[in-house]
Each structure stands twice: as structure tokens, then as C-alpha cells.
Amino acid sequence: MRDPRWLPWARWAGLGLLGLFTLTPLYVMLTSAIKPLQDVQGDFHWIPTTITLRPFADMWRTVPLARYFANSLIVASVAALVSVVIAIFAAYAISRFRFPGRRIFSVTVLSTQMFPGILFLLPLFMIYVNLGTALGVELYASRTGLIITYLTFSLPFSIWMLAGYFDSIPTALDEAAQVDGSGPIGALLRVVLPAATPGIVAVAIYAFMTAWGEVLFASVMTDESSRTLAVGLQGYATENDVYWNQIMAASLVVSVPVVAGFLLLQRYLVQGLTAGAVK
């Protein structure tokens, strides 16, 4: 049965509206970033009357944006790396071995995703403060404490997603590697990991993006020296004024790493998110 003639036009119209809905905020952000502050605060114009790149220079001086950028990059990268490493071994154990409590462990890991993040805010805050007071372990207002905090969110989902991906890889590959003399760890490193590259990349991107854009815990668990970008952008709103053009310019700059990484690894991300769903 042939499709109606109007169906292709309806599809293109739907895609056009969706694209317009997506690109309009980006256009407003870009045009606001190249306007003087008085133009941004005045009446809105779709086409800028005055174009300037000064906000892209001033945004580094109004707040210590470079320090916030470095903090976010370190925290997100380390959290993603640690999450991937732990998740690989935990997911491989769940997928390949049968041990007492395996099912309970799997359900427990997955059930942690049901609780809202704000539920852990006060307990983690109290634990970090008490550890600093009793043992001198300074986790509060430190990048290390923030990395540990983000692992509590990204690690359970990473384990669950990688376990499903490992299940989709035939166990015959492990058996062949063990016949050739490799142990379980050798089979994992030499055979399974290369086959699981898309899933690992998807987990790494998820963990990185979770840490990069998180606001709630970063606003409570950091101080001026350990503050990340998501919280540091609030510094453009002062008691006397709100530097909207610098906010827009900084937002464009800080989104570049995530967007670039997503575009470069999009193929692996799609494969990683879908391959483990079908066995």
C-alpha cells in the first residue's frame, strides 16, 4: 500500500518545526553573545544592530572562568575514567560468572536509580564534614569529594548498561581466549573489551556529561577554589547587574567540549546504547 502524497510533506514540515524549535534558542544565545550589554537589556531584536566580540574577552575577567573550566574538566574526566574502569570489571563479573547474591547485587545496583539525587545531598554533606573533623580527610569543598559524589550517580547506571552489553557478546569469544591460554582477566582485556568499545564509549560519555553539567551537588559541595562551571556561571549575576551577553558567551564556550565529543563519538554512542538491548 502506497503512502499518501501528503505524508512526505508532513514529515518535512514536522522536521522543520522540530529544527526551528531546537535552533531558535541557540540563535538567540549566539546573537546575545555578540551584542553589547545595553542592547541585550533593551528591546529584543532578531538581527543585532551592533556586533562586538568583547563579551568573549570580558567573560574571563568577570569571573575566574579558566579555573572553573579546569575544575569541571578534571572532575568530569576523572569521574568518567574511574566509573568506566570499575563498571567494566563489575559488569563483566555479573555477565559471565554465577555467584551467590548475583541477582540481588544486580537488582540493588539498578534500584539505586529510583532515588532522587537530592535524597543523598544531606547524608553526603554530613559524611564529608565529619570525616574532615574526625580524621582530617578533607572531602568537603574539594574536587576529590565531588568526584566521589558523582560516582554514586554514574557508576550504578554504568554497571547496568555495560552488563547488558557484555551479555550481547558471545561467550564463545571468552572460551576461545581461555583455550589459547588466557585467564578470565586476559580474556576480558584482549577479547571482550575490543568488542565492547561502543558500550564503553557510551558509558564514558554518560559519566562525563553527568559530571559536567551537574549543579545541585556542585553548589553545596564546593567553595571558590573547587567550584565548577555549572555553578560558576552564576557569578555573572552580581548585585548591581547581570551580564547577559557574557553569560551567553560563556555558555557557548563551555558547551564546546561536550558537543565536540558527542559529535566525534556519536557512532559509538548510538551502538552502545542500543546493542545491549537485544540479545
d(CA 75, CA 139): 13
d(CA 25, CA 84): 33
pLDDT tens, position by position, 85-104? 999 999 999 888 888 888 88
Q: What are the backbone dihedrals phi and psi of residue 241, each rounded to the nearest 5 degrees, phi first?
A: -160, 165
| In-domain check, residue 21 | no
Instruction: Provide the β-strand partners of residue 237.
Output: 242
| Residue 260 CB coordination number (10 Å) | 10
All residues at 6 or more sequence positions from 157 whose CB lies less than 8 Å from its CB, including other chains: 113, 206
| Residue 53 CB coordination number (10 Å) | 10
**pTM beyond 0.95, yes or no:** no
| Residue 247 CB coordination number (10 Å) | 23
d(CA 115, CA 157): 13
For the chain, the domain total comes to 1
The vertex-137 CA angle with 133 and 138, nearest 5°, equals 85
| In-domain check, residue 27 | no
Res 279: pLDDT: 44
| In-domain check, residue 2 | no
Q: What is the DSSP letter of 237?
A: B
Res 53: pLDDT: 92
CATH of the domain at 143: 1.10.3720.10
Range of the domain at 84: 33-277
Low-confidence ranges of the chain (pLDDT < 70): 1-3, 266-279
| In-domain check, residue 262 | yes
Res 101: pLDDT: 84
| In-domain check, residue 25 | no
d(CA 227, CA 220): 10
| In-domain check, residue 234 | yes
